[in-house]
Structure formats: C-alpha cells, structure tokens
Chains A and B, each alone.
Chain A
C-alpha cells in the first residue's frame, strides 16, 4: 500500500518485454533488408554499421548531443514557468480568460517551425534562439494541460472549503493546483517529446554546435550512418527525458491509485 505504483515483478517484466521484442524484430528486419538487397550504406546503412560508426565518432557526437539536450531542457523549463503562470492567470481572472484564452488557442495556428529563421535573426547563432524555439514549441501543451487540470477541480471540494472560510488564494493552493497536476504532467510529457526535435530544427537553421549541426554535417559528407546515429541518440535522449518526467510525476502524486498510474503509460 505504501507505493501503489509498484506492480509485481512479473507484470513489470511483461510490460517492458513486449515492446522490446517488437523493437528487436524491427531492427532484425532492418538488418535483413540491408543485407538481402545489398543496399548502399549511403542510402540505408545497416544497424550494425550505425552502431559501429556512431561509437567511433562519439567524441564529436557527445558534445553535440549535450548542447542540444541543454537547449531542450532549458527551453522546457522556460515553457513550464510561463505556461503555468499563464494558465493560473487565465483560471484566476475573467478578464485574463477573455483576453488571453482565444489568443492562446489562435497561437496554435502559427507554424512555429517557420519562426525558426526569425528567432535566429533576433537572437543570433548561440543557444538562446534554440531555447526560445523549444519554449515556444512546448508551451502550448503545458499551458492547455494545466488549464484543463485547473478547470477539473471538484466543485464540491471548492464549495466545502469556501464554507470553511477559504479565500481564493487558499482555494488555488489547496484545490485547484493539486487538481491540475495530472493534466499538467500529461502536457509536460507531450512537451518533452517535442523538445529535442524543436531544438534540432532550430539548429538546422543556423547554429555553431548541436545535433542539428552534426546531422547537417554528416549528411553533407554522405555519412548516412552518422545521421542515423544522431537520430538514435535523439530518440534515446527523448526517452530519458520522458522517463524523468514520468518519475517526477510519480513522486509528485504519491496519492494516485495504481490503476491510474498504469493507464497513463
């Protein structure tokens, strides 16, 4: 009962085993296709070659990945602060809701990727424009999640606390913000999935360092194997970020029913 999130070890194994088997099957199919049809490595390198060359190039890849990871994490951090502040403001004040909510929704029609060149013009070639782009990209998911979460507060609990003399600020801290946690984390997971991609796209437009730069360089050198390597690294890093968020979610909400935790996966 102390930690309802822990399943039996058999169930945990089954949970990881099934997708691992599917993944292994895909990798084997990939290797077979490359071997059977003798595909040129410039077009499609086999998984063995990708791993081998990526490992060999790790001294160039690691700092690139580190740069991009920093941009992604800082961008998300900025997005979390702004999105939560905006969501609370919209939830708090009718004026804010009327004036900001339509704009928030409408802002989604802007193709944020298309803003990348602009952001580079404004903030230069360093990490700042990437952080800005990641923040822009991930902001919406977090803001909408938080907003929906705030709105999902139980009206009975609100009434009850009001009859106990709670003011709006107390209601915010004691009912609305905790109510928003599950959906905030759902939004954050979506945001995290986008974050590295957003950073890489920003790097494509112009950067000194990062996975985007690395990929562009590898492509120009016809090193398709290294492009693949960078993609795999990006995927792994996204997975790590996702895992960190999932862990934070669990720690932040020890009160959740185990089935709820499961369903979220």
Chain B
C-alpha cells in the first residue's frame, strides 16, 4: 500500500461562502501547500480559520472559489474517491459490524465481500481490533471506534490521507495512545498525510512539517520542520527539541491571531 505517488499540491486555494445575512465571507485566501509523497503534514490554526474547509476541498467535498488542487502533479478537478478522508466524528455506520464498517470503502469499489474481509482481518488483528471484528460500533469504546474509523480510511490504500481532527473528541490518555498507534500504522502504510488539528503538541509529535494558519480568511503564515527522529515514542515530548518546536509554533500561532 505504499510507493504509489501521493504528492499533494495546493495552488492559491481560496474559498468564500455566504453567511445567513447574505454577507460574503472569505474562509480561505490563497493557500499554497506542497506535501511530498509519504510526508506527514499537520495544519494548525485557531478555530474557524478554515482548516476543515481546506481539508474538505482537498477531499473533493467542496470546490474552491479560486485556485487548484494537484494530485501527483496533475490538476485534479473531481477529487471524490481520490483521497482517503477521515471526518471529525468517526462516522461509523451503526448497522454494520466493525469489520463491515472497515471494508465499506472496498465494497464501494466493487471488491467482493469475502476478498474485502480477507484484506481487512489481518489489518484489524495487527492494529488492536482483532477481538472486535464482529462487534457493533456501540459496543466499542471511543478509542476503539477511532481505530476502526482510521483503518476504514486507510484500507482503501489511497496514497493521500486527510485527517480532520481525528482525536478531538477523545480524553487525554486515549488520545496519547492513539497518536502513538497512528504513527505505527502510518509507518506501515506510508501514505502522505494531511492532518488538521488545534493541538500543537499533537502536531509536533506526529508530523514532519507543521503549517500554521491565520484566522479567517485562513492562509498559511508559518511553517516548522520537525526534525525529531522516527520512529517516535511519546517520551520524545519531554526532549528539549520537542519543547523548542512547540514553543516556536505557539508563538507563531499567537502572532497569527494577533495580526
């Protein structure tokens, strides 16, 4: 599931929408971004800065008012079905058992059920969901639901993954556990990741590069290359390098909000 492209580029992506009063609001203005194949890019910014909108545009759920999205160097107009997307809430379908939730992407591609399950089972077992394959979603804890949701997104093998605050709703301990888990899975699948988060330390821990967005209209105002070695363990958060990167990003965020 790796080594098949995965370059993502945004050129001057802008978005506007009309609010209830009929006022035109600029959500994004001129976002440029390049994520190399296999790179883990995190996008942080104050709430309402258009991070999620940006992700929805890349996923193809929205079309930008201006600018273009390129996948592997080619302008991609209709992007639905091209990138793997994980929404903020897990979006698991309550009437499908865990395994059938995980295989839904393959099912939509026309992969026969048995074949889809054969592909999913080892993945579920390897990544801690082995005993829950036959459970209904409500029987899972929040952390387990997120694992299932992530594997559902990952299994389609698309080279670009878009994660919209995937751990936002979880408690701190589960969150830390899942961040580590995410890195383990990511190392295996090697996809390009664009992660939206408002948690600075999460961004530093996970990403190769962290981009800071300004408040609305959102654009990228700062960038931090995270030089921490991989594979990373949670302990890395106690190192001075981690603290320094985090401090620079917080400062950049403060400046972005103040400007």
Where the two chains meet, the residues of A that have a C-beta atom closer than 8 Å to any C-beta of B are 1, 154, 156-157, 159-166, 170, 174-175, 178, 181, 253, 255-257
- Sample of 15 more A-B contacts, CB < 8 Å, known A157-B93, A164-B85: A156-B89, A156-B90, A156-B91, A157-B92, A159-B61, A160-B91, A163-B59, A163-B80, A163-B162, A164-B109, A165-B109, A166-B108, A170-B108, A178-B95, A255-B138
Interface centre among B85, B89, B93 (most CB of A within 10 A): B93
Q: From B137, which residue of chain A is reached at the shortest CB distance?
A: A255
A265 to B86, CA, bound (A): 36
Give 21 pairs: A residue, B residue, CB < 8 Å, sorted on A. Answer: A154-B89, A156-B88, A157-B92, A159-B56, A159-B87, A160-B86, A161-B104, A161-B108, A162-B61, A163-B59, A163-B83, A163-B162, A164-B81, A164-B109, A164-B156, A165-B81, A178-B93, A181-B95, A253-B95, A255-B96, A255-B138
**Min distance, Cβ A97 to any Cβ of chain B, angstroms:** 21
A175 to B92, CA, bound (A): 10
Q: Determine whether B84 belongs to the interface, using a CB cutoff of 8 Å to chain A.
A: yes
**Min distance, Cβ B233 to any Cβ of chain A, angstroms:** 31
- Point out the residues of chain B lying under 8 angstroms from A166, CB to CB: 108
Q: Determine whether B6 belongs to the interface, using a CB cutoff of 8 Å to chain A.
A: no
Contact of B85 among A160, A170, A257 (CB under 8 A): A160
Q: Determine whether B186 belongs to the interface, using a CB cutoff of 8 Å to chain A.
A: no
Report the interface size for chain B: residues with CB under 8 A from the other chain: 32
A154 with B105, Cβ < 8 A, contacts A163-B61, A163-B81 known = no
**Is the contact region of chain B dominated by helix, strand, or loop, or is it mixed?**
loop
- Point out the residues of chain A lying under 8 angstroms from B96, CB to CB: 255
5 tightest Cβ-Cβ pairs between the two chains A and B: A165-B81, A156-B91, A163-B85, A156-B87, A157-B91
- Point out the residues of chain B lying under 8 angstroms from A160, CB to CB: 85-87, 91, 153
- Point out the residues of chain A lying under 8 angstroms from B104, CB to CB: 161, 164, 174
Q: How many A-B residue pairs have CB under 8 A?
A: 66
A1 with B139, Cβ < 8 A, contacts A163-B61, A178-B95, A255-B95 known = yes
**Min distance, Cβ A180 to any Cβ of chain B, angstroms:** 11
Where the two chains meet, the residues of B that have a C-beta atom closer than 8 Å to any C-beta of A are 56, 59-61, 80-81, 83-97, 104-105, 108-109, 135-136, 138-139, 153, 156, 162
Interface centre among B81, B83, B135 (most CB of A within 10 A): B81
Contact of A175 among B81, B93, B153 (CB under 8 A): B93
A164 to B80, CA, bound (A): 7
A112 to B161, CA, bound (A): 55
Contact of A162 among B80, B84, B136 (CB under 8 A): B80
B93 touches A174 (CB 8 A): yes
A165 touches B80 (CB 8 A): yes
A162 to B60, CA, bound (A): 9
A163 to B163, CA, bound (A): 12
A138 to B227, CA, bound (A): 67
A163 to B135, CA, bound (A): 25
Q: From B156, which residue of chain A is reached at the shortest CB distance?
A: A164
- Point out the residues of chain B lying under 8 angstroms from A156, CB to CB: 87-91
- Point out the residues of chain B lying under 8 angstroms from A163, CB to CB: 59-61, 80-81, 83-85, 162
A154 to B85, CA, bound (A): 16
**Min distance, Cβ A259 to any Cβ of chain B, angstroms:** 10
- Point out the residues of chain A lying under 8 angstroms from B84, CB to CB: 163
A159 to B85, CA, bound (A): 9
- Point out the residues of chain B lying under 8 angstroms from A165, CB to CB: 80-81, 108-109
- Point out the residues of chain A lying under 8 angstroms from B92, CB to CB: 157
- Point out the residues of chain B lying under 8 angstroms from A181, CB to CB: 95
- Point out the residues of chain B lying under 8 angstroms from A162, CB to CB: 60-61, 80
A164 with B105, Cβ < 8 A, contacts A156-B87, A156-B88, A255-B136 known = yes
Interface centre among B83, B84, B96, B108 (most CB of A within 10 A): B108
A174 to B90, CA, bound (A): 16
